[in-house]
Amino acid sequence: MDKLEYLIKTLSRTKKKDYENYVVNSIYQKLNNYDIKPVTQQYVKTSDDNYRLIDLYFPQINVGVECDESHHENQKEADKIRTLSIEKKLSARMIGNDYKEFRIDVNKPFEQVNAEIDSVVSEIKEIINGTLVEPWEENIFDSILEKKELSINDNYRFYKVVDVLNNLFFFNYSPNFSFRSFFKYKKDENIKLWFPTITDKGKINKNGWINEINDDWTIITETNIEWNEDSASLSDEYRIIFAKLVDEFGRKSYRYIGNFQSYKIENNKKYYRRVSTSIKIDSDLEQINLIN
């Protein structure tokens, strides 16, 4: 998805919320900076382990903007959070001490609302100017290889397994190769690449697989309708996992969620625990290393 398509879809997601739509679009247009990526309705884990949605969020600078409306109801917000997709929950950001939030009161007269918008835009521009901001890149593979690292905090979406394999793990597959979800990393037999479809509770994937993940995406369970505990086994191998999900635009994509190892089998389920959150990538040597 290129920038234009992303912006059209993202900035139109609030079209049924008139005040929020006006504020969000006004701020982004007045920033006039296409290196800054906007996210609307960002799902956020707060410091007290609660969750909420931010109307407009800029992940590169950790800045959020909330639109205060008189008819805002906390219960509706809670209901929306409960029904969010797994993909949205995996995109959660933890608000730390460096997070800055601006609030705009749309119950004021038109001139005052616009004055608040202008003031917020001015402050956001100052933050951008005073921050080493990594530009919003359309070619994410170039960006990853330049940094020489892929982290769970990068929040990238990948749309083809073959592109991940060829660009980040130095395979040489044809663009039309037959899809599967499990690959051996050719330079280390103790590392496997796994692209599982994450299911909602009670649902079964194709071929009888059920893969579930907890809310903070540190534990994955795997089972099959034909499994029993005798047919599954534990291993010391690492699994680099790219979870298959449906993104906020309804497109199927893959999200890197960390490096896992199996640690128990219970009730016909195999449990994997996340043991590290980054991959070091050396394109010169065409090899990777896991980072704790």
Q: Rounded distance, CA 151 to CA 191, Å?
A: 17
Span 16-39, average pLDDT: 90
Same domain, 146 and 283: yes
Q: Considering the domain boundaries, does residue 92 fall inside one? A: yes
pLDDT in tens, 54-103: 889 898 888 889 888 765 555 555 555 555 555 565 566 555 557 888 99
Residue 26 has pLDDT above 90, yes or no: yes
- Determine which of 10-19, 20-29, 107-116 has the lowest per-residue pLDDT on average: 10-19
CA 77 to chain centre: 20
Q: Considering the domain boundaries, does residue 135 fall inside one? A: no
pLDDT in tens, 163-196: 999 999 999 998 877 778 889 998 898 999 999 9
pLDDT at 95: 58
Return the structure tokens found at 263: 């640690």
Looking up tokens 């799902």 gives 43
pLDDT at 33: 93
pLDDT at 246: 72
Q: Considering the domain boundaries, does residue 134 fall inside one? A: no
Span 46-51, average pLDDT: 62
In this prediction, residue 258 has a pLDDT band, given cuts at 50, 70 and 90, of very high
Strand boundaries in the chain, DSSP class E: 39-45, 51-58, 63-68, 93-94, 100-105, 149-151, 182-184, 191-194, 209-213, 219-224, 238-246, 252-266, 269-276, 278-282, 287-291
- Of the candidates 187, 219, 159, the one whose C-alpha atom is nearest the C-alpha of residue 288 is 187
Same domain, 150 and 205: yes
Q: Supply the pTM of this predicted model.
A: 0.70
Q: 53 Cβ partners below 8 Å, 6+ apart?
A: 41, 42, 43, 44, 77, 80, 81
Last residue of a domain, which of 129, 153, 185?
129
Are 243 and 253 within 8 A, CB to CB?
A: no
The CB-side HSE value for 256 (13 A sphere, CA atoms) comes to 23
Beta bridge partners of 246: 252
In this prediction, residue 267 has a pLDDT band, given cuts at 50, 70 and 90, of confident
Same domain, 145 and 282: yes
Classified as helix, coil or strand, 139 is coil
* DSSP 8-state code for residue 208: G
Q: Identify the residue with better confidence: 245 or 101.
A: 101
- Mean pLDDT score of the chain, rounded to an integer? 83
Same domain, 149 and 105: no
pLDDT at 124: 96
Q: Identify the residue with better confidence: 62 or 14.
A: 62
| Number of domains comprising the chain | 2
Same domain, 194 and 217: yes
Q: Considering the domain boundaries, does residue 18 fall inside one? A: yes
Q: Considering the domain boundaries, does residue 219 fall inside one? A: yes
Same domain, 58 and 152: no
Last residue of a domain, which of 73, 99, 129?
129
Last residue of a domain, which of 129, 159, 191?
129
Q: In terms of residue numbers, what domain contains 95?
A: 3-129
